[in-house]
Amino acid sequence: VYGLDLRDDFQGLCDRFIQFDLNQFVKDAAYRVRFTSIFDNVIPRLDVLINNAAVQKLDSLEHIQLDDWQETLNVNLTGPMLLSKLFLSRLEAQQGCIINIGSIHQQLTKPKFISYATSKSALIGLTRALAVDLEGRVRVNAISPAAIDTSMLRAGFNNDEKAIDALRRLHPVQRIGEPEDIARLAVFLASENGGFLHGANIQLDGGISSVLKDL
């Protein structure tokens, strides 16, 4: 298991960790060449690519900064495309698969999530397009979670436990998701048991997308 992330606190969670800036990889050609060479040497074989990196910049349309918009698209959309392209031959050699981590915001969103929701909607479009383009060479699927108990989610609620508890109750399953929920589904998608899934977007949402709120 190889881990790539901007943060450097993943030691021990994978077999090999490489500190890596996906935004820089997209916008800086020299950085891209450097890390392409590193990946060629360090990752000779790859069975599964999971595009999980994300940036979430919140603002209303009047106040969106172009740099924030572009960074969101770089990390959440263009980065997964470039990494899929880079590792395609290795994935094809292993009859492997690509799993893109989307979001409930690709379907249902909230005010100020313009950049994030747009990028995640486009990522699902990329998932379907790659499935059609790659045919039987490499399977491509997406997981679109609702609320998952991560530092990103808690920061969005200012670590307000009352607000997070209210969020739990909004989900028919009466809890928010855990990272392990995504991991278990990803393992299934990568296995032979998920072998007929291709171009799918699985909503891992605790039932919240089925809820109609009314007064």
Q: Which two tokens stand for residue 67?
A: 């740099």
pLDDT on residue 166: 93
Say if residue 38 is in the same domain as residue 64: no
Q: Check residue 51 and give its pLDDT.
A: 98
Q: Does one domain contain both 77 and 39?
A: no
Query: Can you give the pLDDT at residue 212?
Result: 87
My answer on whether 54 and 23 are in the same domain is: no
pLDDT at 215 over 70: no
CA distance 163 to 167: 6
In this prediction, residues 105-127 reach a mean pLDDT of 97
Q: Does 80 share its domain with 119?
A: yes
Mean local confidence (pLDDT), 142-152: 93
Residue 174: inside a domain: yes
Residue 48 phi/psi, 5° resolution? -140, 135
Range of the domain at 162: 47-210
Q: Which amino acid does the sequence have at 29? A: A
pTM: 0.94
Across 10-28, average pLDDT? 89
How many domains, in total, are found in the chain?
2
Active site residue 31: no
* pLDDT at residue 203 in the model: 97
Task: Report how far residue 116's alpha carbon sits from residue 53's, in angstroms, rounded to the nearest whole number.
Answer: 12
Residue 56 within any structural domain of the chain? yes
pLDDT of residue 7: 83
Report pLDDT for 12. 75
In a domain, 215, yes or no: no
What's the mean pLDDT in 17-34?
95
Residue among 55, 116, 134, 204 flagged as catalytic: 116
DSSP structure class, residue 195: T
